[in-house]
Amino acid sequence: MNFLTDEKLVIIGAGGMIGSNMAQTACMMRLTPNLCLYDVYLPGMEGVVEELRHCGFEGMNITFTDKPEEAFKDAKYIVSSGGAPRKEGMTREDLLAGNAKIAAELGDNIKKYCPDVKHVTIIFNPADITGLVTLIHSGIEPSRLTTLAALDSIRLQSELAKHFGLKQSEVTNTRTYGGHGEQMAVFASTAKVDGKPLTDLIGTDKLTEEEWADIRQKVVKGGANIIKLRGRSSFQSPAYCSIEMIRAAMGGEAFRWPAGCFVKNDRYQNIMMAMETTITKDGVHYGDVKGTDKEIAELDASYQHLKDLRDQVIKMGLIPEVENWGTLNKHLK
Ligand SMILES: NC(=O)c1ccc[n+]([C@@H]2O[C@H](COP(=O)([O-])OP(=O)(O)OC[C@H]3O[C@@H](n4cnc5c(N)ncnc54)[C@H](O)[C@@H]3O)[C@@H](O)[C@H]2O)c1
C-alpha cells in the first residue's frame, strides 16, 4: 500500500475548512492508513468522513470522534486547526484570548493521553502564540512542535513571480521570519529571481522601490486578501503546507519553507516564531537567520511584538511567568 508510516495521525478541527482539506491531503499523500479526525462539532465532521469515504481511498482506516480521550490515545502525529478563524477586518491577534484557551486544553490533552507524541503542528491563530501555549502545557520537547508560518514566505515567492512574469519555482529561497502576523519580517537578501539576487533588482527599472514596497504589503496582507476575495479565511494553502510539514516529521520529503519553532538563542528567548528550519524524523531544528542590519532590526521588532502577545497570555493566567514554565514542561526550565 506504500504508506509512509502506520502510526496514528490525528487531525484536530477536522470538521472545518482547513481540517477537512488536511484530511483529504493526508489520504492523497498516503502518509498513514491510521487517520483519526477530531472536532468538537460532530455532525460537520461526520460529513467530512462521509466525503472521504466516497473518495474510496485504498487501504485507509479513518476514524472520528468528539472525545479527546479517544482521539489523543496513542497519537504519534497531531496537526491542529481546531479554533476560530478570522473574519473580514479582524487581525490574527484578535483571536488571541479564545484560541489561547483552546491551545492550553490541547496541550493538557497531549500531556494526559499521548505524552510520547512524535510531532505536533499548530495552525490555529495567532499560531505563534497558540503553538507556544500548547508546547508549555503539553510537556513535550520543543523540537517536537512546529507552527505553520510558511505561507508568508510562499506568498512572497508568488508575488515576485507574478511581478517578473516567471514560473513560481524560478523565484527561490524567499523568506519571511518572525511572527505570522502582520508584524512579520519580510527579507529580500535571501531571495533569487531567475538566479539573480533580488537585492540587485530592487531600485532598478525592473523592480522600483515603490513596487517592492507594494509587494511587501501584498505579502503581509496575503491572508486578509483571501478573506476579501473569498469571504472567508484561507484554507487550501494552510491545509496543504501543514501536511507537508507532518510528512517531513514522519521522515518523508524535506519541508522547503521556514517553520515556526521554539527559539532560545543569544538574541531571542522563550518565543515561538518562524526561523530558518529543517524538519526531520528527529523534529525541528533551527539555524541563525542571516540578513542585512535593516532586516534583522525588523525581525527584532517582530520578536518584540510576539513577546508582548506572550505577556498578555501570561496576564490572562493561561501560562505561568516565563521563569516558571518548567513547572508545566520540564524541557523549558
Ligand atoms: N497558520 C496559518 O497560516 C493559518 C492560515 C489560515 C487559517 N489559520 C487559522 O486556522 C484556524 C482554522 O481555520 P478554518 O478556516 O479551518 O476554520 P473553521 O471554522 O472552518 O474550522 C475550525 C474547526 O475547529 C473546530 N474547533 C473549534 N474549537 C475546537 C476545539 N477546542 N477542539 C477541536 N476542534 C475545535 C470547529 O468546530 C471547526 O470545525 C483559524 O484559527 C484560522 O485563523 C491559520
pLDDT digits (tens, 9 = 90+) for 204-224: 999 999 999 999 999 999 999
List all residues 6 or more positions away from 6 whose beta carbon is below 8 Å from its beta carbon: 32, 33, 34
User: Could you tell me the pLDDT band of residue 181, with boundaries at 50, 70 and 90?
Assistant: confident
Q: Sign of dihedral through CA atoms 107, 102, 273, 168?
A: positive
Select from 123, 129, 244, 245 the residue to mutate for testing ligand 1; criterion: most ligand atoms less than 8 Å from CB: 123
What is the per-residue pLDDT across 12-23, written as a single tens digit (0 to 9) for each?
999 999 999 999
d(CA 333, CA 330): 6
> Ligand 1 mean position to 85 CA, how many Å?
5
Residue with the smallest CA separation from ligand 1 atom 37 is: 41
pTM: predicted TM-score of the whole model, two decimal places: 0.97
Residue with the smallest CA separation from ligand 1 atom 38 is: 16
> Ligand 1 mean position to 207 CA, how many Å?
37
Select from 81, 106, 245 the residue to mutate for testing ligand 1; criterion: most ligand atoms less than 8 Å from CB: 81
User: Could you tell me the pLDDT band of residue 105, with boundaries at 50, 70 and 90?
Assistant: very high
- Predicted pLDDT at 80: 98
> Ligand 1 mean position to 13 CA, how many Å?
6
Beta strands in the chain (DSSP E): 9-12, 34-38, 61-65, 77-80, 119-122, 145-147, 171-172, 175-177, 185-187, 192-193, 196-197, 260-264, 269-274, 276-280, 283-287
* Ligand 1 atom nearest to 234, measured from its CA: 6
Q: Which amino acid is at 105?
A: E
Mean pLDDT of 272-298: 97
